[in-house]
Amino acid sequence: MKSLATVAVAAATLATLATGQEAVAAPAGPVGAVVTCGTPGAPGILLTRACVEVTGNQVRFYGVAATTTSGWQPQQVGFTVSGAVVGGAPIAPINPTVLVQAGATSVGSIVTTAPCGSTVTGGFSVNQWGWPPSAATVSAVVSC
């Protein structure tokens, strides 16, 4: 079950997908949470966008997959979500398979901490055999 904060972040991210803006403040969720989403990946069966949510020194990496066709039928799709703190130890990527409904779907969650002032980078891509790649990246500063 998705929390209200997750749904609100997904809605804000969908609006960001439509407008092409780089950063949005999360309308709900933890106080001080800032969501930054990178530019969309190459158009394919799904439009992908890598996002990072920063609250203090806590960082959450995730992706948003948006359907690009009006006749989309819900289906299981594989993805890769990755994140890194620049200059820090590697963070293992995750490879969730998610039921993608019509519209936008929030995918994955890697949570870590990062020193104030550091830069974090995230990646999100379709990892589905036979589908064209659609990879997206994002960078943000942990301002605390």
Amino acid 34 reads V
Rounded Cα distance, 87 and 115, in Å: 11
Beta partners for 120? 85, 140
Question: Per residue in 52-66, pLDDT tens?
Answer: 999 999 999 999 999
pTM for the whole structure? 0.78
Q: Residue 16 gets which letter from DSSP? A: H
Instruction: Spell out the domains of the chain, with CATH numbers in brackets.
Output: 4-141 (2.60.40.2420)
CB neighbour class for 73 (10 Å; exposed up to 12, middle 13-18, buried from 19): exposed
**Contact (Cβ atoms closer than 8 angstroms) between residue 23 and residue 109:** no
Question: Per residue in 119-135, pLDDT tens?
Answer: 999 999 999 998 887 89
Question: Per residue in 93-127, pLDDT tens?
Answer: 999 999 999 999 999 999 999 999 999 999 999 99
